[in-house]
Structure 1
Amino acid sequence: MDTQGGPTGLRERALGPDLARGFMLLFIALANSHYFVVGAAYFGGFPTGGSPLDRILGTLISTLVDGRAFPMFGVLFGYGVAQIVRRQRAGPDQFGGADERGIRRLLWRRSLVLVVLGFAHAMLLYIGDILAAYGVLLFLGVWALRWKDRWLFAVAAFVLILTALPSDDTLAASAEGPDPSMLPAGFLGQLAERITVQPFIAGLAWIGFVTPFLIGLWAGRRRILERPAEHLTLLRTTALLGLTIAVAGALPMSLVVGGVLTRPSDHALTILGPLHDAAGVFGGLGYAALLVLVAHRVGERPITRAIAAVGQRSLTCYLFQSVVWAVVFTPYLLDLSNTLTTTTTAILAVATWCATVLLADRMRRANYRGPFEVLIRRVTYRSPARFTSG
């Protein structure tokens, strides 16, 4: 078993957070895949003019997934950081645990791994990488570890308000399809295109994850997702209100994706786009709370253990998805961006996630960690991390 102060052993992990991480990978697959589809015109990242089923699925994904999956990632990321800090402070040390400087250095090593891995991921597989952005967020976020709760909430609310302000970014993005960095004509061109785009994404995308990260940090301090029986009212309220706000905030945009409403004016889009994304933060909180409640209610069963195994190996499974996107959509490989539709890419996303569930469960049964989990632990803790969970 892992010594206290090191990485959490797989047998020690709570079901709720891992189940949430496992389902999160399904949402991320659905959120990423449709951006590869090529069409004559676009709205909200979806090609317009598809079949009725394309429009229905586009509406559902825009309402329930887009801008909701990555905030859930942020909540769980912040929660995981709080878990690391708690274990370090309680670790075997003559003063009762690691000092704050040692904890910061440990987390900075973890952030460096994420930035380097994210850069390689973006250059070789998927330009929409978020690992590097989370690495930047963690590098800066270590200073929030000493903040009191009221400061966590105050900064989280301030950043959320900023991201909800009217912006022209959504206006431009709503009409754009895949750019050359996403669907490069050749490998050398891919590197040339992405080397200029990736630093921009890594350097700015973390701002949108600040609010869920800080809320996750607060929740992790209180072990809310690990001890749901002690926080049922909070979790139920968060699930209900969070998902209600997320759906209500998404409908003005998602109904346009589905062809139910006509495209709003440019001025309206500068308001509705940020509203869609800001409401998604509440959706991320709601999904995390809902899935922890499901884990609490259902408990350990073969299906929950298999999905939780994905959550325990979320980095490996996330990168596995990108391998699929690269093989299927890259023009110099299978080049199916002009062939697949919103519907068929959604099917591909679900099938890819199901494959990761089978793979992760097989690794769980064999008592193996994911290879990238081993890598990040080895660098973070500066020790020879084991492939097994013992």
Structure 2
Amino acid sequence: MPPTSVAAPRGAVTAAERSLAPDLARGVMLLVIAVVHAHILHGLAHGGAAPSSAVDTVTSVAVLALGEGRGYPMFAALFGYGLASVHARRAAQGDSWPTARSLIRRRGRWLFVFGILHTLLLFFGDILAVYGLIAMMFAGMLVRGDRRLLAWGAVWAVAGTGVYTLVNNLLVADVEGETQVLAHPLTDIATRAMTWPAMAPLLLVTSVFPFLVGVWAARRGVLTAPERNRALLVRTAAIGIPVGVVGGLPYALISAGVWAGGPGAAAATGWAFMLTGYAGGFGYAALIALVAARVGERRGPVVTALAACGERSMTSYLLQSVAWIVLFAPYMLDLAVRVNGTAAVAMGAGVWAATVVLADVLRRAGIRGPAESALRRLTYGPRHTARGAAAGRPAARR
């Protein structure tokens, strides 16, 4: 990594030091997140009814098999990758493990606060608070050996997806056909507040495994040095992506109303959908890392803009939720009930594209994402934040 002339916060990365692959992966996979969320919100607005046209059916199957349950695992892995990198840098700078652990848990506490506010004000399916809980609860895994790390990961992979599938099937059976459109913002906030205690544990138990895999990958520099890990990345992409698609297809067909299945088939395919989603998410990340290695320093405007979005992924993620309120809430534009499923998914892609453009504008101006800046300030302190921003400006203008 190139040196910088101004000291950044200990353990933090300046703009000039950032690797392309993780940022590019975040930027691209935010498209998956946007499309999936638009699809989910459209479905909720229509009471969970099956698609009403052949085009919408194809769209629904494609979103489920290719996107849902595949984007969040990759982000959880990148979160683990990032925390492991912070710990490695702190250790290289001579900090003790208790000092590094204190920093990581402080970051987790503030992520939790961001996530709670995000849930109350914008979106019921928040992941930031879950990542904050993981940082606080599983920081100790950063110093565990590889064997124990992967063993615990395997336990969480099987048990977490099993618990999620069981509870999700029970919840769906209990509320099927009773979905209501919340026509008042205060009612919406209250409902999200009551939903969070049920949603957060389910997201947490399915996020621990990819988080631990991300820690393992960071120790080998899989994404920050993709050229040295090409064989592993090729295998992961070649196996993971097809497994994710094939494993998700049966559940996608049931959810889209193409295959009747039954309670037993729904449970079995739902569990396979979640478990193979890990493979799909890791496969996508590996493929993007291979692209980043191929691109190297020869970044065109598209790759640069996508990486800028990934560098500001938290801001982009929150802006997506603002867009969902404006576009889909019944007390705003209420478009979810006025367009078909395919149009809603296209709107999701459009929202993502807008965040990419905005991120690139901020990059050209040498401005960090507002959410990232706030989290950095709260984690490292205002003095370190100013130094880190000064170190990043020259790289941002190039």
Which residue in 2 is equivalent to 1:51?
A: 53
Which residue in 1 is equivalent to 2:231?
A: 233
1:137 to 130, 134, 138: 134
> What is the root-mean-square deviation of aligned Cα atoms in Å?
1.9
The question of whether the paired residues in 1 share the 8 Å contact of 2:51 and 2:60 is answered with: no
Tell me: CA distance 1:174–1:191, structure 2 relative to 1, closer, same or farther (3 Å). Answer: closer
The question of whether the paired residues in 1 share the 8 Å contact of 2:123 and 2:192 is answered with: no
Which residue in 2 is equivalent to 1:216?
A: 214
Cα offsets for 1:5-52 (capped at 9, x unmatched): 24201111111111001011111101111111156663xxxx413222
Which residue in 1 is equivalent to 2:254?
A: 256
Question: Is 1:107 the equivalent of 2:135?
Answer: no
Which residue in 2 is equivalent to 1:23?
A: 28
Tell me: CA distance 1:292–1:41, structure 2 relative to 1, closer, same or farther (3 Å). Answer: same
The question of whether the paired residues in 2 share the 8 Å contact of 1:133 and 1:201 is answered with: no
Matched letter for residue 293 of structure 2: H
The question of whether the paired residues in 2 share the 8 Å contact of 1:39 and 1:48 is answered with: no
Which residue in 1 is equivalent to 2:198?
A: 200
Cα offsets for 1:187-243 (capped at 9, x unmatched): 222232222222332344211001100000111111110111111000000111111
SS in 1 for 2:335: coil
The question of whether the paired residues in 1 share the 8 Å contact of 2:328 and 2:335 is answered with: yes
Determine the C-alpha separation between the residues in 2 that align with 1:79 and 1:34.
29
Question: Is 1:273 the equivalent of 2:270?
Answer: yes
Structure (1/2) with the larger helix percentage: 2
Q: TM-score, normalised by structure 1?
A: 0.92
% identity of equivalent residues:
38
Which residue in 1 is equivalent to 2:396?
A: none
Equivalent residues in 2 for 1:299-378, closer than 5 Å:
299=296, 300-378=299-377
Cα offset, 1:363, TM superposition = 0.7
Gapped regions of structure 2 (runs ≥ 5) = 1-5, 394-398
Which residue in 2 is equivalent to 1:85?
A: 87
1:159 to 145, 156, 159: 156
The question of whether the paired residues in 2 share the 8 Å contact of 1:229 and 1:296 is answered with: yes
Cα offsets for 1:249-277 (capped at 9, x unmatched): 11111233455x42101112111111101
SS in 1 for 2:13: coil
Gapped regions of structure 1 (runs ≥ 5) = 92-96
SS in 2 for 1:287: helix
User: Bigger shift: 157-166 or 106-115?
Assistant: 157-166
Determine the C-alpha separation between the residues in 2 that align with 1:121 and 1:271.
33
User: Bigger shift: 249-258 or 103-112?
Assistant: 249-258
Determine the C-alpha separation between the residues in 1 that align with 2:186 and 2:123.
15
Matched letter for residue 139 of structure 2: V
Which residue in 2 is equivalent to 1:94?
A: none
Determine the C-alpha separation between the residues in 1 that align with 2:270 and 2:69.
10
Q: TM-score, normalised by structure 2?
A: 0.90
Which residue in 2 is equivalent to 1:34?
A: 39
2:14 to 4, 9, 19: 9
Determine the C-alpha separation between the residues in 1 that align with 2:7 and 2:252.
46
The question of whether the paired residues in 2 share the 8 Å contact of 1:111 and 1:135 is answered with: yes
SS in 2 for 1:378: helix
Count of equivalent residues = 378
Cα offset, 1:53, TM superposition = 1.4
SS in 1 for 2:153: helix
Determine the C-alpha separation between the residues in 2 that align with 1:53 and 1:241.
29
Matched letter for residue 121 of structure 1: H
Which residue in 2 is equivalent to 1:63?
A: 65
User: Bigger shift: 351-360 or 184-193?
Assistant: 184-193
User: Bigger shift: 202-211 or 114-123?
Assistant: 202-211
The question of whether the paired residues in 2 share the 8 Å contact of 1:185 and 1:331 is answered with: yes
1:127 to 121, 124, 129: 124
